[in-house]
Amino acid sequence: MAATMPTVHVYQAALLDYLLRNDESGLTHAYDLGRTSFDAGCGLLQILHVHEKALGIILDSAPIDDEIRRRVNASAKFLTEALSPFAMATHGYRDLLKTRS
């Protein structure tokens, strides 16, 4: 069976579990989700998008004020932009590997 990128629901459940328990098994689950996504050919920015959506769902259910929510959302967008060059380099590397196969 081919690997696929985790859905927002699956990722959100794993993230919430980690936030509530803050243990090593949650980090292992995060690694497994990332590895599965990588094997499926998903890019870094796709994972960031899923994370941003999942975190938004979690924040919407948390009793926090609007300014904190705005700052968290803005920081996610900032991180996405900061990682864009890395995503482009990874994509280029994968393309290079495909041409050598």
Task: Give the per-residue pLDDT at 14.
Answer: 94
b/e map of 70-96 (b: 16 or more CB within 10 Å)? eeeeeebeeebeeeeeebeeeeeeeee
pLDDT of residue 1: 44
According to the model, what pLDDT value does residue 10 have? 94
Q: How do the pLDDT tens digits run along the chain, 101 residues long? A: 455 777 999 999 999 999 999 899 999 999 999 999 888 888 888 999 999 999 999 998 988 888 898 888 888 888 888 888 887 777 777 777 778 87
Q: What is the CATH number of domain 8-100?
A: 1.10.1240.30
d(CA 8, CA 52) in angstroms, rounded, equals 9
- pLDDT at position 11 is 93
Q: Which two tokens stand for residue 37?
A: 């996504």
